[in-house]
Chain A
Amino acid sequence: MKIFQQNSEFDYSWEEVSTSNWRKYGPWNEKTPHVIAVDTLSRTIDPETGILRTERLITCKQSAPKWLNQFLGGQDTSLVYETSYVDAKEKKVTLCSMNMTWNDLLSVRETCTYQPSSSAPDARTAFNQRAEITALCGGWQKIKNSIEQFTVERFQQNAAKGREGFEMVLEMSRKVFAEQREMIRMQQESKILREARI
């Protein structure tokens, strides 16, 4: 098993981060073109805790190298199952994901959390990411090791791109939100002016 872990911070409030998380893989993110679709399978609020639970199916375009593709059977897309838990009272988002494709061969399990940063709880958000990668196929340890090593490296690259892309989404969201607020303000003002004339 190989473990990938990183902790970092975003210079945005928890509210902004947790909202933008829902459009992390939208067109505003130019860094993760390998994510081609995100579908919501279910969404419920726990009546006791108020936690919002969401199940999503993430479709990725596959780009494994030739040697690995031999094991994978040449499929061109891979599927990821993700559950997320949003606790608005505690201000915590937890995302758990696992691979649904090639899960006989490889297990990739990831947990991410977003929480207000302890240094600046109203302005910054702490991000914690941890993934466990295990090759499950029987046979040579050497092959298992190569598969795990390749996967953890690819994971690392995608994590870096994912972060960059999420920064783009956060920036756009803040901009569009400000524009919308301004637009609504202008509309209300012109309404007041119009009524004042009448």
Chain B
Amino acid sequence: MLPTTSHSAILIDDATALENTLAFNFIDMSASLAPECNEVKEKYDNCFLKWYSEKFLRGTATSDECEPLFKQYEQCLTKALRSRGIDNMIKEAREDNRENDAEHMRPKR
């Protein structure tokens, strides 16, 4: 085995700790109603949260870089909603929500 300096040991520790923190972060979001979508949902949620806190809130968001992940998640979810018959219920809810959209999408400044 190659001799390691105390310094490189610190580096390894840091990297492991960082990885653990990120892995920990990975489980802080809620599940999908369709278990088969959980994996891609988690990836998307984490991407979004990072974009939201680091770019959107600071006013530096130029594009939605999580869009490709969202498309994957959406594809999985749409299938699940359709097979459970929830897609029609969503359509109805959307109709009922028009007033809220009108009120909150165009606030008086």
Contact = CB atoms under 8 A, between A and B. Distances in A.
Contacts of B105: 46, 49, 51, 53, 85
A27 B59 contact: no
B17 to A, nearest CB: 6
Nearest to A173: B28
Contact of B33 (A43, A57, A83, A98): A57
B107 A90 contact: yes
Contacts, number: 133
Contact size range, A:
35 or more
A51 B77 CA distance: 24
Interface stretch (A63-71, A116-124, A137-145, A176-184): A176-184
B97 A19 contact: no
B1 interface: no
Given A25-B30, A39-B41, A197 B7 contact: yes
Given A38-B30, A39-B33, A39-B77, A187 B14 contact: yes
A45 to B, nearest CB: 7
A98 B31 contact: no
Interface string B1-34: 0000001101100110110010011011111111
A27 B38 CA distance: 14
Contacts of A38: 29-31
A15 B57 CA distance: 7
Contact of A22 (B25, B52, B109): B52
Identify the interface centre among B10, B52, B104, B109: most chain A CB within 10 Å of its CB: B104
7 contacts: A40-B45, A49-B105, A89-B59, A94-B104, A100-B89, A100-B93, A172-B28
Interface of A: 15, 18-19, 22-23, 25-28, 35-43, 45-46, 49, 51-53, 55, 57, 59, 79, 81, 83, 85-90, 92, 94, 96, 98, 100-101, 103, 111, 172, 176, 179-180, 183-184, 186-187, 190, 193-194, 197
Interface of B: 7-8, 10-11, 14-15, 17-18, 21, 24-25, 27-34, 37, 41, 44-45, 48-49, 52-53, 56-57, 59, 61, 64, 70, 73-74, 77, 81, 86, 89-90, 92-94, 96-97, 100-101, 104-107, 109
Given A27-B30, A39-B41, A98-B96, 6 more contacts: A22-B29, A23-B45, A40-B44, A41-B77, A49-B107, A100-B92
